[in-house]
Amino acid sequence: MERRNYDEMRAASGEVRPHFGPIAEWLAETPAKRVAEKRREADLLFHRVGITFAVYGDAKGAERLIPFDTIPRILPKAEWDQLARGLTQRVDALNRFLHDIYHGQEILKAGVIPPEQVLKNPGYQKEMRGVELPNRIYSSIAGIDLVRHSDGNYYVLEDNLRTPSGVSYMIENRKMMMRLFPELFERQTVLPVEHYPALLLETLRAAAPPRVRDPVVAVLTPGQYNSAYFEHAFLAQQMGVELVEGADLFVKDNSVYMRTTSGRQRVDVIYRRIDDAYLDPLAFRKDSMLGVPGLFAAYRAGNVSLANAVGTGVADDKSTYPFVPEMIRHYLKEEPLLANVPTWQCRNARDLAHVLENLAELVVKEVQGSGGYGMLVGPAASAAELAAFRKLLKANPANYIAQPTLSLSTCPTFVKRGVAPRHVDLRPYVLSGKEVKLVPGGLTRVALKEGSLVVNSSQGGGTKDTWVVE
């Protein structure tokens, strides 16, 4: 009953898709030895530059390299343009939704979404009610995870509206490919992604409090032991702004300042890579050592902007996800251009019954989970794992959603024995400032284990350069 996976390079007939033509030729004519050499070179370079990430729960606290695969994932420009329109539409609707639920709550009054779904959601921040944000943008930086099913269509797997990561790999992967295989870029016109930091800076400056003429931007990191520290430092450096930790900032008279060698310096926009809960020990978790006391009050007073805003978590929660198509219809009066994956909400008794009955065929996820932690892939699970999840589901059904096991598309990938198809997803980054901007492409993650559908780097996934070609 299961159809064949969609392969990004080859059609079902076995024929190479036209946009993959030059790469297929190159693969056929390049000796395996040279490719292997280049792969070793890439590993070495990544290690030297220190593009590593820390893995949570790893007792040794080890820094690991995310495996980089040197065969690019390629999209024709027309297909990308279509995706970009869908992404723009979706993020636009999500930002309108966030503004609405913290103001008039029209969507709840209209009965499109049950009020308790929003108001009782742990991601809903009551303190954000009535707070006016510049351009009404809540998620300035969104990462939308897409997968391509066996029917050839893209589906949105999840929206990441809080602190999506991975964009540094998108840029570093391109740099690496151009360094290792410059000849490939002569064969095809690949649209550039290197200007992402410039667009990000423009987006962040657009988020500044309106009266600020020349806004000062800073990136706020939890510090060098955070798994994404490399990315925080990378983006700060690329944008030419300060990388700050909580202790570098202080609040005086409801404004935020950095401690510098030439005294205090005012900060207008903070690109924060810290969760809401840790931002300000006076407003949220009191035990937070990462945050800045008084930051939230300064933010509410409109003296500093945070990107992303506080309280976006309610919109990228997996239990809110099923309502996104309705949001698009409600706010934009348009049909969604990108499809959702059908989703069962286990907090509904009927959905739960269906999920328990078909557990072995479904993917079950925690509503607030991310990073591939705490999920069950039914078809790949053992009887014991299924039984354990059945218990979890019954104990706390509202904590879970379930989806059919999608057959993620495959892309040729270097493995031990040569080149073989491996499953991939795609995370484009959507920047919302005065207008919505995207760089063509995004981060392609690849599940390196044969048959595996879990692409998360924390679970043994790798990455590929993503090409949008003319």
Partner 1 sequence: MLSRVADRIYWMSRQMERAENMARILGVTSNMVLFGTKETREQNLLAPLTITDSAERYFEDKKPVTLQGLVDFLALDPANPSSIYSCLRSARENGHAVRWQITSEMWESLNTTWIEMRRVRRSDIAGADATKFFDWVKDRSHLFRGVTYGTIMRGEAFNFSRLGTFLERADNTARILDVKYHVHLPSVKDVGGALDHYQWTALLRSVSSFETYRTLYRDQIFPIKVAQLLILERRMPRSLAACFDQVTQAMERIEGHDRAAKRLASELHARLTNADIEEIFRDGLHEYLTECIADMNELGARIQRAYLGTA
242-244 β-sheet, strand order: 242-244, 217-220, 269-272, 305-307
Q: Is 261 among the residues that bind partner 1 (CB under 8 A)?
A: yes
- The least distance separating partner 1 from the CB of residue 46, rounded to whole angstroms, comes to 13
Q: Cα-atom radius of gyration of the chain, to the nearest Å?
A: 22
**Residue among 247, 301, 388, 398 that touches partner 1 (CB under 8 A):** 247
- The smaller minimum CB distance to partner 1, of residues 13 and 262, is found at 262
- The smaller minimum CB distance to partner 1, of residues 262 and 382, is found at 262
376-377 β-sheet, strand order: 344-345, 400-404, 362-366, 376-377
Q: Is 260 among the residues that bind partner 1 (CB under 8 A)?
A: yes
**Residue among 234, 271, 389, 414 that touches partner 1 (CB under 8 A):** 234
The whole-angstrom distance between residue 279's C-alpha and the CA centroid of its chain comes to: 20
Q: Report the distance separating Cα 283 and Cα 356, nearest Å.
A: 40
Could you tell me if 65 and 54 are in contact, meaning their C-beta atoms sit under 8 angstroms apart? Answer: no
How far apart, in Å, are the Cα atoms of 298 and each of 102, 244, 251, 288, 383? Answer: 18, 17, 7, 18, 52
Q: What are the phi and psi torsion angles at 412 (to 5°)?
A: -60, 140
- The smaller minimum CB distance to partner 1, of residues 119 and 247, is found at 247
Q: Report the distance separating Cα 191 and Cα 237, nearest Å.
A: 23
- The least distance separating partner 1 from the CB of residue 51, rounded to whole angstroms, comes to 12
- The smaller minimum CB distance to partner 1, of residues 168 and 319, is found at 168
- The least distance separating partner 1 from the CB of residue 229, rounded to whole angstroms, comes to 10
- The least distance separating partner 1 from the CB of residue 225, rounded to whole angstroms, comes to 10
State the pairing for strand pair 410-415/429-432: unpaired
**Residue among 14, 57, 210, 263 that touches partner 1 (CB under 8 A):** 263
Block residue for tokens 């945070």: 306
**Residue among 248, 275, 326, 385 that touches partner 1 (CB under 8 A):** 248
The first and second tokens of residue 356, run together, are: 């328990």
Q: Is 262 among the residues that bind partner 1 (CB under 8 A)?
A: yes
Q: Is 240 among the residues that bind partner 1 (CB under 8 A)?
A: no
Give, as ranges, the residues between 50 and 79 that touch partner 1 (CB under 8 A): 50
Q: Is 131 among the residues that bind partner 1 (CB under 8 A)?
A: no
- Name the one range near partner 1 by CB under 8 A: 38-46, 209-217, 258-266, 388-396: 258-266
Q: Is 153 among the residues that bind partner 1 (CB under 8 A)?
A: no
- Report the SS3 class of residue 185: helix
- Name the one range near partner 1 by CB under 8 A: 204-212, 240-248, 274-282, 378-386: 240-248
- The least distance separating partner 1 from the CB of residue 260, rounded to whole angstroms, comes to 6
Give, as ranges, the residues between 26 and 55 that touch partner 1 (CB under 8 A): 48-50
Q: Is 358 among the residues that bind partner 1 (CB under 8 A)?
A: no
Nearest partner of 444 among 145, 189, 41, judged by Cα: 145
What residues contact 331, with CB distance under 8 A and at least 6 apart? 92, 93, 96, 97, 100, 107
Site for partner 1, rule CB under 8 A: 48-50, 224, 233-234, 236-237, 242-245, 247-248, 258-263
